[in-house]
Amino acid sequence: MLDGFISKGWLSYISFGKISTGGWTTDNGTLYCVKEGYKNKFGKPDFEISYLKHEAQHAYDNLMYKKMHPKDMEYRAKLTELIEYPNIKLFKNFLAQADCNINNSHSYASYKIVQNLSKMIFHNEYEADSQKWSRKGKMIRTCSQKLFEENTALLELHKSETIDII
């Protein structure tokens, strides 16, 4: 748990403190958490799932798949969150931040998740209407599990190669 920052970086600065890094993991599996970002959230999904399980998935993937592209790491960590998250709030956040710019690993992973879930649930290329997703929480969790399993199978086939799947 990290605390007492003088500055939390450029993203926090340009967003007037509304956006900043909440945590990260290192190549050796150490998890770092910016304590201030999770005040009053310990024991809740925002911490237990969106920080802890997300970063633990990164730690696992760092150990198992050394050559994984950041967008693929984010894809898997975000799917891990969706599998566990108890409501649709998190998915709607991913829908709002989704961007097809492949150079932004977080937003691109969200885009690919929405795209893949759209194909599975709505049978169309990309469903951007958040209202249509509102009653699909259980399907999102189930389909996210399936996407995660499919992605893991692909990773196992390419384990020793540079991994750039999504």
> pLDDT tens per residue, the chain (166 residues)?
768 766 677 777 787 877 777 778 888 888 887 888 888 889 999 999 999 999 999 999 998 988 899 999 999 999 999 999 999 999 999 999 999 999 999 999 999 999 999 999 999 999 999 999 999 999 999 999 999 999 999 999 887 777 788 8
Asked, for residue 97, whether it belongs to a domain, the answer is: yes
- What pLDDT was estimated at residue 6? 67
> What is the rounded distance in angstroms from the CA atom of residue 105 to the CA atom of residue 87?
24
Asked, for residue 15, whether it belongs to a domain, the answer is: no
- Using CA atoms, how far residue 100 sits from 47, 56, 60, 81, 105, in Å, is 27, 26, 26, 20, 10
Asked, for residue 36, whether it belongs to a domain, the answer is: no
On the CB side of 90, how many CA atoms lie within 13 Å of its CA? Answer: 25
Q: Let me know: does 102 contact 74? Beta carbons within 8 Å.
A: no
- Using CA atoms, how far residue 67 sits from 55, 122, 145, 163, in Å, is 17, 33, 23, 6
Asked, for residue 4, whether it belongs to a domain, the answer is: no
Domain count of the fold of the chain: 1
In this structure, which long-range contacts are made by residues 155-163, counting pairs with CB atoms below 8 Å and at least 24 apart in sequence?
Answer: 155/64, 155/65, 155/68, 159/64, 159/65, 160/67, 161/67, 162/67, 162/69, 163/65, 163/67, 163/68, 163/69, 163/72
- What pLDDT was estimated at residue 7? 66
Asked, for residue 11, whether it belongs to a domain, the answer is: no
Q: Let me know: does 40 contact 24? Beta carbons within 8 Å.
A: no
Asked, for residue 52, whether it belongs to a domain, the answer is: yes
Asked, for residue 14, whether it belongs to a domain, the answer is: no
Asked, for residue 46, whether it belongs to a domain, the answer is: yes
Residue 30: partners with Cβ closer than 8 Å, 6 or more residues away: 59
- Using CA atoms, how far residue 98 sits from 42, 86, 146, in Å, is 27, 21, 20
Domain that residue 60 falls in: 42-157
**DSSP states along 123-137:** SSS----HHHHTT-H
pTM for this one? Answer: 0.88
- What pLDDT was estimated at residue 164? 81
